[in-house]
Amino acid sequence: MNVMTDDGYNAKIEYDPEIDMLRGEILGLTGGADFHGKTPMKLRAEFKKSLAVFLEVCKEKGIEPRRNYSGKFNLRIPPERHEKLAIAAQAEGKSINTLAQVALAKALAA
């Protein structure tokens, strides 16, 4: 995934063949904000403009711009994988949660 970052905000970047432009979508917001640009430089400028407008609207309406995350989520896996995960965690003297956090951290760092 191509990600552009500005002022602590992240945007997913894709090519939109219908308009022959790069398209960005700002991630982790309580609403939607996207932007377009022909070049990376123009895309970044539009990112800044789109973010500024979104933040201003949130301020005017008294809305928190970023989504809140609880730190909890459900993960559905096949029972066989769940069993292997539980055994691996027990063998390492760790909880499934700890083992999963380490694996997720490695995946996000890659």
Mark whether 8 and 52 lie in a shared domain. Answer: yes
Asked if the structure places residue 7 within a domain, the reply is yes
Mark whether 54 and 84 lie in a shared domain. Answer: no
Q: How far apart are CA 49 and CA 35, in angstroms?
A: 9
Asked if the structure places residue 85 within a domain, the reply is yes
Mark whether 84 and 45 lie in a shared domain. Answer: no
Asked if the structure places residue 69 within a domain, the reply is no
Mark whether 49 and 9 lie in a shared domain. Answer: yes
Asked if the structure places residue 71 within a domain, the reply is no
Domain that holds residue 102: 79-109
Cα dihedral sign for 99, 100, 105, 110?
Answer: positive
Mark whether 20 and 51 lie in a shared domain. Answer: yes
100 token code pair: 């999963």
Mark whether 52 and 93 lie in a shared domain. Answer: no
CB 25 within 8 A of CB 37: no
Res 110: pLDDT = 79
pLDDT tens over the chain, length 110 residues: 799 999 999 999 999 999 999 999 999 999 999 999 999 999 999 999 999 999 999 999 999 999 999 999 999 999 999 999 999 999 999 999 999 999 999 999 97
Q: How far apart are CA 47 and CA 34, in angstroms?
A: 8
Q: What angle do CA 61, 64, 70 make, to 5 degrees?
A: 150
Asked if the structure places residue 28 within a domain, the reply is yes
Number of domains in the chain: 2
